[in-house]
Amino acid sequence: MSENWIRQCAVTFGAIGKTYDATGIRVRFKISQSTHDQPNTATILLTNQNPGLAKQLCAASAEGSMVSVSAGYAGNMGLIFQGDLRRAIYGRENPTDTMTTILASDGGQAQSYATVAKTLPAGSTPDDIVKTSVAALQKFGVGLGFVGPSVDLTTPVYPRSIALFGMAWKLMTDVAKSKAATASIQNSQIHLVTPNDAIPGAAFELNTLTGLIGMPTLETGGVFARTLINPQMKFHSMVHIDESLVQGMLPQLINDGNIAPGYGVGASNMASIAADGMYRIFRIDVDGDTRGTPWYQDLVMNVVGATTTEAETFSSAQMPGGTAP
Query: Considering only CA atoms, which of 77, 69, 20, 82 is closest in space to residue 228?
Result: 77
Query: Considering only CA atoms, which of 35, 43, 173 is closest in space to residue 105?
Result: 43
* Mean pLDDT lowest among 183-197, 210-224, 247-261: 247-261
Residue 166 has pLDDT above 90, yes or no: yes
What does pLDDT average to over the chain? 88
Q: Look at 262 and 57; give whichever has higher pLDDT.
A: 57
Q: What is the mean pLDDT of residues 16-26?
A: 86
pLDDT of residue 324: 35
Three-class DSSP category at 161: coil
pTM of the predicted protein model: 0.87
Q: What is the mean pLDDT of residues 45-72?
A: 87
Three-class DSSP category at 303: coil
Residue 268 has pLDDT above 70, yes or no: no
Query: Considering only CA atoms, which of 286, 277, 285, 186 is closest in space to residue 236?
Result: 186
pLDDT in tens, 272-323: 788 889 999 999 999 999 999 999 999 999 998 877 544 444 444 344 444 3
Instruction: List, in sequence order, every beta strand (DSSP E) within 39-167.
Output: 40-47, 65-73, 76-92, 98-106, 115-120, 143-147, 162-167
Cα separation, 127 vs 321, in Å, equals: 43
Query: Considering only CA atoms, which of 180, 306, 297, 321 is closest in space to residue 234?
Result: 297
pLDDT in tens, 197-243: 999 988 999 999 999 999 999 887 789 999 999 999 999 999 999 98
pLDDT of residue 37: 79
